[in-house]
Amino acid sequence: MSRRLLSLMSVLVATATLLAPAAAQGAIPVGRAPYAMLANPAAHEIYVANIFSDNVSVIDANTDSVTTTISVGRAGTISAPAALAHNPATGKLYCVNYWAGKLVVISLPSKTIETSIPVGYSHANPRAVVVNPATNLVYVTNITQGLVYVVDGEPASPTYNTVRTTIPVGFYPRSAAVNATLSRLYIANTSSNSVSVIDIDPLSASCNQVIATIPTGVQPYALTLNHATGKVYVANRSSNSVNVIDGVTNSVLATIAVGSHPRAVEVNPDRDLVYVANRDSNTVSVIDGASDALTRTVTVGTTPYALAGIRTLTGDTYVANYHDSSTTGTVTTIDAAFGTSETAVGRGPSSLAIDTLFAKPKVYVGNYNSNDVSVIDPDFGASSLLTTIDPLPGDGTDDPTPVLTGSSTSLVQPFPGRIMSVYWRLDGHDSWSEARIVEGDGTPSARWEVALEESLAAGEHTLQVCAMDMTGATLVSSDGFASSSAHTGAIASYTFTYPRPSDEREDGWVFGRVTDEYTGRPYRGLLVELKQAGRAARTDARGYYRFNTVPPNGSGEFPAPAYIVRLVLRKPLASHEPLSKTVTVIEGSGARVDWSAHMRGRPARRPASARPPAGRV
């Protein structure tokens, strides 16, 4: 064989290798026909609604394995779990059973069913479910009845887990989205070619009423919104268009032509871009949210079915391609420069979820036809939801259970995200804990604190903190056709030392005075010991003693074991004052220990100047 032919074959093999889709990390077996997925980043859990096995699989994102399977139907019947919602404020997972007409309330983290609430009746089909984290109310659409059910999800309410009211909307209310900032609920009525706008402000006279019905294109199928701008985006599958609605005025700002059969829509608020998956043209349309104009069309795999994105300035967007192959499906990754790459996954990928609380987030792909979930590792990128950790003095602490503080701020405009939760973990621990927001809860800028309860081991420690705005709750129906991924901020890291190295501490000092109990005159030449330091000093003519450069042994809020200061006498004191006293030395400060006593057999001297010895006092 000639060298030229060998060289050509090498090029062909290399080219084939480059063109072949990369493979996902592996498949996680779940139930039959995984239909809807939802991520709970704080717990590192992924919830998968399996529509034909009537259960919800719980995946541990740390190990990428199923830890629990929750049955949500009745034996011998088909319940068809079709949509999920999560409220991190109450720790509840909501599952819509399409055929059974029920909303199943699952308590997290116990993974037990709390109750099952009728939201229709058998074969009167509930379809979408969303949460308002400002009120803990849950909204469920019913496509058969043309109703929205309002369910009380506030545990402290006397009507908890009951239907408060129903709201008539249009025909076949297919999708829903909540704007918690404007207190509006948007419903896409697929068979009425309209969007219903519902007032959900509990203080409003028109609460739970339709305040506007907005005409759309033909068969509005999916909708989402940009919380930063207040705009609502509606994908019309039969007129191949997207309507842009002003969430303040409830008017249509633009109608944008896209590809054939748009069925999923995703927003990146940090870049103000909108991605639309066009099922029959195998493309994704990209809309500029500032100009409300189509900026580019990206070719993806066959039958793009679902979208999800990492909502940062440089985050990728992911497209699940349902019919890419009879044996495998693919996920197209669209990067920040609109370049694409393919990853091979299972058969019939139709839903996506992202755990953003890893240093490198994970994308989970629900494969409808192969009954499993694939995992992809993407890059995170820069976020407009920023967190800053306040540094400790000298980047260290002598307190074994310190309190660390900081702030989180949303930079998007004109409607910056309202911060709902701040999460932290120490030294790369698998799970995250919730920090206490001490100022600005529910506003675009919040102060928080982390109080460590377990004593630190000696050495370096790294604190990681991340904020989540109100999109941490399910604000957009999560049934595979619209993304419900949270807008999670950048993870801030801070490394500190316990205890601090001695050369980074500012020493304190111990001083005091010994005087006669009755006359107030000073005692000169008495011996005072600082026990732990192995040091001693004598009082001067004015009765003062002093120990300089004493290492601090605590702080005012968290004292460590105190020093013992002892007055050494050859003759007994004629008072009840103890010879030994304890003292805590604060960094850069003086600690004073005085004695007022009278020694038998020792005449008191005349008072000398009350001026203390030279140095800091």
Q: Considering the chain, tell me which residue range(s) the CATH 2.60.40.1120 domain(s) occupy.
A: 506-597
Amino acid 76: pLDDT: 64
Q: Assess contact for 87 and 131: CB atoms under 8 A.
A: yes
385-473+489-502 folds as Immunoglobulin-like (2.60.40)
Q: Which helix (H) or strand (E) holds 387?
A: strand 385-389
Q: Which is higher by pLDDT, 61 or 323?
A: 61
pLDDT at 82 over 90: yes
pLDDT at 174 over 90: yes
The pLDDT tens digits for 156-169 are 999 999 999 999 99
Q: Tell me what the mean pLDDT of segment 85-93 comes to.
A: 92
**Strands of 329-334's sheet, edge to edge?**
22-23, 340-345, 329-334, 317-321, 304-309
- How is residue 470 annotated by DSSP? G
- How is residue 605 annotated by DSSP? P
Lowest mean pLDDT among 171-180, 233-242, 388-397: 388-397
Amino acid 14: pLDDT: 33
Phi/psi of residue 50, each to 5°? -100, 105
- How is residue 53 annotated by DSSP? T
- pLDDT category at 394 given cuts 50, 70, 90 is confident
Q: Tell me what the mean pLDDT of segment 101-107 comes to.
A: 96
Residue type, 616: R
Amino acid 500: pLDDT: 67
Amino acid 176: pLDDT: 94
What distance in Å separates the CA atoms of residue 101 and residue 306, rounded to the nearest whole number?
25
Strand-pair partners of 29: 372
Homologous superfamily of domain range 506-597? Carboxypeptidase-like, regulatory domain (2.60.40.1120)
Lowest mean pLDDT among 23-32, 118-127, 268-277, 448-457: 23-32
Q: Which is higher by pLDDT, 190 or 362?
A: 190
Q: Considering the chain, tell me which residue range(s) the CATH 2.60.40.650 domain(s) occupy.
A: 385-473+489-502
The pLDDT tens digits for 16-29 are 333 445 656 668 99
